């Protein structure tokens, strides 16, 4: 890793090695050793040397996944520091940095000193991934992308965990999403990715837990950057959609229990509810936005967030129960509206996206509101209508939505 980072080992040799790993796999010790070497290939922040405990949270990404935006201030408002470095979205799953950049003026490119001082002063920092952090991963990921070697579970685990180890929190909660809208399409693959990441964390002395959670239908109702920030604000006010609010409260409570800040999950959930009811969690998000140069009024009054020029309602084409909403297709539709990227480096439009008016299990009459489209033009709305209708499956009979959390690995 050291030689590869310093270009003493050329890309063609690394590409051959990556393909060998794809075919043959790696055992847990090999994967852990690779991860440690990648973590040490650049700058290390050692955040837990400044504050203890300090937690980190990572999601493998999904459609409408704004959980970090709500969980981080919830945990910080309960007195446990959160140091979060986060990536940009590629394809149909948005990145937390892109969502944060919907807030006017907010800077996510922080220097090491800014990152650490905001963390110390506010107990929370939400920054973009620095290029100096695990540079071996940056080089390797670009190579994996063009050599069809992304989809190897040990390589994915090493890539994610090297960046977590380089930040150096004391506790980490991983959210491995599984389903149509996620990177992991099967429960088995998600379990294996979660298992190996927990193993890597424990071997490196980072207390790690992983939740395997559902990503069949979009999470919550908002898909798109500013719309998701507004939904995170609603969650922090106790007014968010049931599924995503429940997941956020659960993950925040789990982090409080992991760090020993709460003696039981029930007590932790009570404290999380209290942070919502008292307004402390929302105030914490506004405070950290301001500390990072953003406009806190857009958090206190999310109607001030950027808004798309055209807002149009797609209605239900028939009566019935919603049996399924295909998360990946919804994500691709939002991407076509400008909310996501086709290619790395593409600009995104923070204003655009979709607001689902109903979720799996809901009964609608023909003509009821189905999806609110936030677009740049009437033409874009019109083009998207058929594509959006194709995301839905309907049933004559009542439908139960599946569980949100499949398992927790410790």
Contact by Cβ (8 Å): 361, 233: no
Beta bridge partners of 365: none
Cα distances (Å, whole numbers) of residue 255 to 43, 69, 75, 179:
26, 15, 7, 24
Q: Which of 41, 57, 58, 92 is catalytic?
A: 58
Cβ-closest position to ligand URA: 159
- In the complex with ligand URA, the residue whose CB is nearer, 150 or 189, is 150
Query: Shortest distance, CB of residue 258 to ligand URA, whole angstroms?
Result: 22
Token pair of 45 as six digits: 């922040």
List all residues 6 or more positions away from 199 whose beta carbon is below 8 Å from its beta carbon.
28, 31, 32
Query: Where do runs of H (alpha helix) occur along 204-241?
Result: 225-236
- Bin 79: left if φ > 0, else alpha if -120 < ψ < 50, else beta: left
Active site residue 163: yes
Query: Shortest distance, CB of residue 159 to ligand URA, whole angstroms?
Result: 3
- In the complex with ligand URA, the residue whose CB is nearer, 153 or 272, is 153
Q: Would you give the DSSP letter of residue 133?
A: B
- In the complex with ligand URA, the residue whose CB is nearer, 38 or 282, is 38
Give the x/- contact pattern for ligand URA in 60-99, rule: CB under 6 A: ----------------------------------------
Query: Shortest distance, CB of residue 91 to ligand URA, whole angstroms?
Result: 11
Q: Select the span of 34-42, 45-53, 155-163, 246-254 touching ligand URA (CB under 6 A).
A: 155-163
- In the complex with ligand URA, the residue whose CB is nearer, 148 or 366, is 148
Q: Are strands 54-59 and 81-86 parallel, antiparallel or unpaired?
A: parallel
Beta bridge partners of 310: 375
Contact by Cβ (8 Å): 321, 398: yes
Query: Shortest distance, CB of residue 184 to ligand URA, whole angstroms?
Result: 10
Q: Select the span of 154-162, 205-213, 310-318, 347-355 touching ligand URA (CB under 6 A).
A: 154-162
Active site residue 58: yes
CA-to-CA distance for 54 and 115, rounded, in angstroms?
A: 13
Out of 70, 80, 83, 156, the residue judged to bind ligand URA by CB under 6 A: 156
Size of the chain, expressed as the number of residues it contains: 410
Give me the sheet containing 353-356, strands edge to edge. 222-223, 353-356, 369-375, 310-315
CA-to-CA distance for 154 and 156, rounded, in angstroms?
A: 6
Active site residue 66: no
159 is a site residue for ligand URA (CB under 6 A):
yes
Contact by Cβ (8 Å): 202, 161: no
200 is a site residue for ligand URA (CB under 6 A):
no
133 is a site residue for ligand URA (CB under 6 A):
no
Query: Shortest distance, CB of residue 10 to ligand URA, whole angstroms?
Result: 21
Q: Select the span of 13-21, 29-37, 152-160, 303-311 touching ligand URA (CB under 6 A).
A: 152-160
26 is a site residue for ligand URA (CB under 6 A):
no
Q: Select the span of 153-161, 222-230, 337-345, 399-407 touching ligand URA (CB under 6 A).
A: 153-161
Q: Are strands 369-375 and 353-356 parallel, antiparallel or unpaired?
A: antiparallel
- Of 189, 205, 165, 184, the C-alpha closest to 1 is 165
Count of positions on this chain that bind ligand URA (CB under 6 A): 5
Query: Shortest distance, CB of residue 153 to ligand URA, whole angstroms?
Result: 10
CA dihedral 241, 242, 246, 249 (to 10 degrees): 50
- In the complex with ligand URA, the residue whose CB is nearer, 160 or 337, is 160
CA-to-CA distance for 42 and 36, rounded, in angstroms?
A: 11
Q: Which of 57, 92, 139, 163 is catalytic?
A: 163
- In the complex with ligand URA, the residue whose CB is nearer, 161 or 358, is 161
Q: Peptide bond before 181: cis, by omega within 30 degrees of 0?
A: no
Rg (CA), the chain: 21
- In the complex with ligand URA, the residue whose CB is nearer, 108 or 159, is 159
- In the complex with ligand URA, the residue whose CB is nearer, 156 or 261, is 156
160 is a site residue for ligand URA (CB under 6 A):
yes
Sign, Cα dihedral of 37, 93, 102, 70:
negative
Binding site for ligand URA (CB under 6 A): 141, 150, 156, 159-160
Active site residues: 58, 137, 144, 159, 163
């Amino acid at each position: 890793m050291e030689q590869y980072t310093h270009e003493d080992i050329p890309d063609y040799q690394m590409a051959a090695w990556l393909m060998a790993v794809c075919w043959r796999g790696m055992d847990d010790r090999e994967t852990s050793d690779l991860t440690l070497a990648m973590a040490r290939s650049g700058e290390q922040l050692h955040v837990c040397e400044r504050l203890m405990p300090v937690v980190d949270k990572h999601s493998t990404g999904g459609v409408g996944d704004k959980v970090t935006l709500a969980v981080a201030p919830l945990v910080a408002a309960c007195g446990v520091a959160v140091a979060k470095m986060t990536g940009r979205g590629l394809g149909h799953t948005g990145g937390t940095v892109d969502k944060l950049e919907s807030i006017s003026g907010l800077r996510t490119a922080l220097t090491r000193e800014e990152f650490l001082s905001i963390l110390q002063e506010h107990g929370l920092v939400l920054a973009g991934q620095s290029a100096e952090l695990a540079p071996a991963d940056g080089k390797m990921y670009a190579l994996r992308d063009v050599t069809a070697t992304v989809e190897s579970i040990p390589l994915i685990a090493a890539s994610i965990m090297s960046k977590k180890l380089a930040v150096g929190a004391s506790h980490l909660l991983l959210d491995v999403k599984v389903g149509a809208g996620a990177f992991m399409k099967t429960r088995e693959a998600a379990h294996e990715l979660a298992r190996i990441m927990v193993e890597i964390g424990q071997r490196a002395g980072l207390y790690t837990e992983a939740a395997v959670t559902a990503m069949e239908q979009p999470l919550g109702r908002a898909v798109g950057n500013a719309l998701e920030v507004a939904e995170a604000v609603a969650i922090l006010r106790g007014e968010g959609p049931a599924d995503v609010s429940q997941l956020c409260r659960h993950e925040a409570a789990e982090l409080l229990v992991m760090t020993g800040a709460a003696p039981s999950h029930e007590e932790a959930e009570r404290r999380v509810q209290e942070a919502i009811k008292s307004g402390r969690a929302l105030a914490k998000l506004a405070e950290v936005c301001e500390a990072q140069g953003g406009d806190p009024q857009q958090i206190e009054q999310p109607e001030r967030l950027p808004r798309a020029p055209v807002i149009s309602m797609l209605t239900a084409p028939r009566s019935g129960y919603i049996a399924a909403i295909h998360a990946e297709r919804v994500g691709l539709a939002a991407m076509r509206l400008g909310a996501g990227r086709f290619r790395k480096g593409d600009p995104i439009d923070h204003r655009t996206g979709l607001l689902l008016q109903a979720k799996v299990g809901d009964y609608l009459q023909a003509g009821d509101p189905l999806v609110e489209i936030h677009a740049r033009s009437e033409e874009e709305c019109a083009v998207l209508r058929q594509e959006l209708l194709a995301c839905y499956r309907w049933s004559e009979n009542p439908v139960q939505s599946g569980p949100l959390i499949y398992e927790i690995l410790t």
